Amino acid sequence: MEIIKTKNLSKRYNGNLAVDSLNLSIEKNRIVGLVGPNGSGKTTAMRMICGLLRQTNGEVEINGLNLSRNLSKIQEMLGYLPQQNALFPDLTVYENLYYFGAVFGVCDRKLLNRKINDLLEKLGLKDQKKQRIEKLSGGFQRRTAVACSLLHNPEIIILDEPTIGLDPAIRVEFWNLFKGLKSQGKTILISTHYMEEADECDEVIILNRGKLAGFGGPDELRKKVFGNVYDLSQTKSKNSFENVYLNLTK
């Protein structure tokens, strides 16, 4: 079943098209990567899909519902991690989670406390629970922001460059977390400019200057680009997703 659908979705800033007639169809319970370099329109597309930014043209449908006409109902289903963390630096990890949980409508204190502790455990944040955000490394701050986006148990999780600037070990942990969320039935849309992360996704959306340049499974896109010469046994670098990207956007 399609859970996210966009029709000719476009955003124009001062005469420039940041997102240009994007037609997307995302199935439920997949990890879908939104891949493209800086400035290709990833954040703009994600913010329109979350209903945080009004499109210039086109439409978004979530679970068959028109986004503009069902905004509050749809936003309850969505978890969103902004590209830049929106945390309170002088509050602790726990206090940030408590605040955002309350904002997202988790009103029962005991339930919220349980959810926070569960996420602290899952995200390896237990020891940082009482530390102020400003005292933490970028990796722990990012983990806290990811936890904030998951508090209300959203069905669809939209993560804008969750792994940006993180060291490889934390990136691997993050991807394990995302796969765990998928196994719980969630749908995850995740942007990245790290081409190698495309291989962690079920499907990849390739954006080039706001336009859709490719959509499909990572190996499907490799086959499309490399054709019959495509051979999984070849060196990774030859079949790298970077080469797929360069080929589809040249």
Ligand X SMILES: Nc1ncnc2c1ncn2[C@@H]1O[C@H](COP(=O)(O)OP(=O)(O)O)[C@@H](O)[C@H]1O
Shortest approach of Mg ion to residue 4 CB, angstroms? Answer: 18
158 sits near ligand X (criterion: CB under 6 A): no
44 sits near ligand X (criterion: CB under 6 A): yes
Pairing of strands 156-160, 78-81: parallel
Candidate list 4, 9, 18, 150; residue touching ligand X; CB under 6 A: 18
Long-range CB contacts for residues 163-166, cutoff 8 Å, separation at least 24: 163/192, 163/194, 163/197, 164/83, 164/192, 164/193, 165/138, 166/138, 166/139, 166/142
43 sits near ligand X (criterion: CB under 6 A): yes
Give backbone dihedrals phi and psi of 106, rounded to 5 degrees, phi first.
-85, 95
- DSSP element (H, E) containing 13: strand 2-13
Shortest approach of Mg ion to residue 220 CB, angstroms? Answer: 25
Query: Near ligand X by CB under 6 A, which window of 35-43, 91-99, 168-176, 219-227?
Result: 35-43
Candidate list 5, 30, 42, 142; residue touching ligand X; CB under 6 A: 42
Pairing of strands 203-208, 57-62: unpaired
163 sits near ligand X (criterion: CB under 6 A): no
13 sits near ligand X (criterion: CB under 6 A): yes
39 sits near ligand X (criterion: CB under 6 A): yes
Shortest approach of Mg ion to residue 208 CB, angstroms? Answer: 14
Amino acid at 94: Y
Q: Which of 62, 49, 55 is nearest to 2 (CA)?
A: 62
User: CB under 5 to 8 A by kind: which of ligand X, Mg ion, none does 72 bind?
Assistant: none
36 sits near ligand X (criterion: CB under 6 A): yes
- DSSP element (H, E) containing 81: strand 78-81
Question: Judged by CB, which is closer to ligand X: 45, or 148?
Answer: 45
β-partners of residue 190 are: 33, 159
- DSSP element (H, E) containing 159: strand 156-160
What six digits make up the tokens of 227?
């054709």
User: CB under 5 to 8 A by kind: which of Mg ion, ligand X, none does 18 bind?
Assistant: ligand X
Question: Going by C-beta distance under 8 Å and a sequence separation of 6 or more, which residues neighbour residue 236?
Answer: none
Candidate list 1, 15, 38, 169; residue touching ligand X; CB under 6 A: 38
Shortest approach of ligand X to residue 177 CB, angstroms? Answer: 22
CA distance 50 to 67: 8
10 sits near ligand X (criterion: CB under 6 A): no
Size of the site for ligand X (CB under 6 A): 11
Kindly list the residues in this chain that would bind ligand X in the complex (CB under 6 A).
Answer: 13-14, 18, 36, 38-44
